[in-house]
Each structure stands twice: as structure tokens, then as C-alpha cells.
């Protein structure tokens, strides 16, 4: 049994079909402005038939719009997973977003990520922030940062009530786990399987007593990444929908719903969808190594 059969979310290195690393001019990597801020336009007073921008949120279980409006979300990653999640968060009324992603938008991203021709070659964090601006109907601020997460954490205050982590490498996930724990804030992690058909979403609670991502997935290899595996927009949207639901719950509470922190989904229906509560794991290298 090979590793892929054991865990389709973990990827053996070498699946990328890049023959050799392309070379770029050095100055290409130097950003004049590694952080840019974009303001949304508040059109909440422009009502025609229904005067309330979020009238259809009325009656949604546990929904408290003012809590979402005032929440501050840091999106770690601005690709297929967090692009869709960011769009949904902004549209649903989250007014303070920061998006961190140093990767450059490429042609192959356009099939599922929120970039356009003019974004190609530019940092995803900044360009996604720019592109989400027109979706921010309640105004608010969307900040894009084009440096790696660990650099952004050192260089900027990054005000956040929650992290939303949609990246393709475990090292960044690990850094986000630790930083969220240090700040005592929740974090939602999303990931796709290597065949692009299945997804996992996990809500790490804010307390050190809550299980971390490594409690849920102890075999995650911090040095493994899967940047060139299959991905399609249907899976990204499927996972993003559940990511946003968990963000909403972390921000607004569960009301009468039964809380859970783990969800596993499959577009094809060939594997069992799982939902439940991951418990803290004795001996977890992250929880007990901090």
C-alpha cells in the first residue's frame, strides 16, 4: 500500500511536473508595497425593495450579524480555498479582512481562483484583497499582504479574532496553529485531497485546552506540501462553504446547534462523509510541545 492510499491528503514529493525551476529576475521578488489596503463601498442605504442588506439572514440559526460585521479575520492563503471563503465572508458581511499570500497568480489558477489577466504575476494576497473590494457591500477594509505568513506575523500587528487557513503546505499550517494558540483565537483549517475530490475542515478552538490541528491529524508531516496536485472549483466551493460555516460559528456561536470541529466531505460520494468532535490527544507534539 503506498502512501497515497493511506492518506490521500498527504502527497509524496515529486508529483509536480515542473522540469526545472524557472528563473526570475531578482527585482521581481521585491515588492514596493508588501501591504495594500482597499476600502469597500457601503451601499447599505441604497435599499429598493428590501431595505436591509442582510434581510435574508434573519431567521438563520445562531446568526448575529453585528458580531460578524465587527469581527476581524485573517485569511492565511488566497488561493482556491480561501478565495472562495473570503468571497463568502465579505458577501455575508465580514468587514475586516486581511489576506496573506506571497504566491504569484498564475494562468492555471484562473480556473477556480478570483484573479484576472491583470493579476497574473502579482502577489495573490494583495490582488485577492483588491478583487474582493467590490463584494464588500457594507464597506469595511480588506488588506492584502504579499509576504509569507511567518514574515507577516513579525512585520505587522495583524489584528485578528480568527485565522482562516487555506494553504497547500503543512509548515504554514503548523505556524498558524501555533500563532492562533499564542493569541488565544480560533482558527479554521481547510484542505483538499490530492485527487481534488475530497476535503477536510477543522475548527481549532481558542483555548489551550482545545484540540489543535495536530491532535486531529497527528501524521501531518510539517515539511510536506502539495502545491501542484489536482484541484477543481467544485471541491474548492464545497470546502469553502463548510469553512465559512465554521467561521460563522466561531464568531457568532452555535445557538441551539450541536457544536462540532471536524468535517470530511467527498464530491463523489465514494467515501463516508464524517462529522464530529475531535478530542485533545495526549502526547500531541504541538499541544504538549509548546
Residues lying near Zn ion in the complex (CB under 5 A) are found at 212, 214-215, 284, 286-287
Q: Are 38 and 142 in contact (CB under 8 A)?
A: yes
Residue of 83, 90, 98, 97 lying closest to 54 (CA atoms): 90
> Measured from the CB atom, is 33 or 184 closer to Zn ion?
184
Q: How far is the CB of 273 from Zn ion (least distance, A)?
A: 24
| CB 283 to Zn ion: min, Å | 9
Q: What is the spatial distance between Cα 168 and Cα 9, in angstroms, rounded to a whole number?
A: 10
CB of 279 to Zn ion, least distance (A): 10
- Residue placing its CB nearer to Zn ion in the complex, 36 or 179: 179
| Closest separation in Å from C-beta 217 to Zn ion | 10
The CB-of-214 to Zn ion minimum distance in angstroms stands at: 5
Q: Which CB, 38 or 214, lies closer to Zn ion?
A: 214
Q: Which one, 149 or 214, has the nearer CB to Zn ion?
A: 214
Which lies closer to Zn ion via its Cβ, residue 246 or residue 278? Answer: 278
Question: Which of 4/285 has CB closer to Zn ion?
Answer: 285
Q: Pick between residue 84 and residue 287 the one whose CB is nearest to Zn ion.
A: 287
User: Within a 10 A sphere around the Cβ of 1, how many other Cβ atoms?
Assistant: 5
**Any residues with CB less than 8 A from the CB of 68 and at least 6 apart, and which?**
92, 93, 94, 248, 251, 252
* Residue 162 near residue 168 (C-beta atoms within 8 A): no
Report, in this order, helix, strand and coil percent for the chain, each rounded to 5. Answer: 30, 20, 50
Q: How far is the CB of 174 from Zn ion (least distance, A)?
A: 11
Question: What is the DSSP code string of 119-182?
Answer: GBTSBHHHHHHHHHGGG-TB--EEEEE-S-HHHHHHHS----SEEEE--SBHHHHHHHHHHHHH
To Zn ion, the closest distance from the beta carbon of 191 in angstroms equals: 16
CA distance 90 to 269: 30
- Across the beta sheet with 198-204, the strand order is 35-39, 141-145, 96-100, 72-76, 162-165, 187-192, 198-204, 262-266, 274-276
Amino acid at each position: 500500500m503506498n502512501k497515497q492510499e493511506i492518506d490521500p491528503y498527504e502527497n509524496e514529493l515529486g508529483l509536480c511536473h515542473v522540469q526545472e525551476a524557472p528563473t526570475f529576475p531578482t527585482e521581481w521578488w521585491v515588492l514596493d508595497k508588501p501591504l495594500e489596503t482597499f476600502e469597500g463601498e457601503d451601499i447599505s442605504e441604497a435599499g429598493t425593495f428590501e431595505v436591509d442588506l442582510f434581510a435574508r439572514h434573519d431567521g438563520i440559526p445562531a446568526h448575529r450579524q453585528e458580531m460578524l460585521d465587527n469581527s476581524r479575520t485573517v485569511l492565511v492563503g488566497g488561493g482556491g480555498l480561501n478565495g472562495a471563503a473570503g468571497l463568502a465572508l465579505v458577501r455575508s458581511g465580514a468587514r475586516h479582512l486581511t489576506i496573506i499570500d506571497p504566491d504569484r497568480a498564475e494562468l492555471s489558477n484562473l480556473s477556480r481562483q478570483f484573479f484576472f489577466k491583470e493579476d497574473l504575476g502579482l502577489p495573490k494576497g494583495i490582488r485577492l484583497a483588491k478583487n474582493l473590494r467590490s463584494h464588500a457591500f457594507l464597506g469595511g477594509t480588506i488588506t492584502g499582504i504579499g509576504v509569507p505568513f511567518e514574515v507577516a506575523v513579525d512585520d505587522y500587528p495583524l489584528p485578528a479574532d480568527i485565522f482562516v487557513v487555506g494553504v497547500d503546505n503543512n509548515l504554514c499550517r503548523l505556524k498558524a496553529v501555533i500563532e492562533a494558540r499564542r493569541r488565544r483565537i480560533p482558527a479554521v483549517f481547510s484542505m483538499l485531497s490530492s485527487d481534488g475530490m475530497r476535503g477536510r475542515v477543522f475548527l481549532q478552538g481558542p483555548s489551550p485546552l482545545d484540540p489543535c490541528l495536530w491532535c486531529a491529524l497527528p501524521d501531518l508531516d510539517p515539511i510536506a506540501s502539495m502545491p501542484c496536485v489536482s484541484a477543481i472549483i467544485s471541491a474548492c466551493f464545497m470546502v469553502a462553504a463548510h469553512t465559512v460555516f465554521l467561521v460563522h460559528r466561531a464568531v457568532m456561536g452555535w445557538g441551539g446547534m450541536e457544536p462540532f470541529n471536524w468535517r470530511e466531505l467527498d464530491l463523489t460520494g465514494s467515501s463516508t462523509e464524517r462529522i464530529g468532535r475531535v478530542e485533545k490527544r495526549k502526547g500531541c507534539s504541538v499541544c504538549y510541545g509548546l
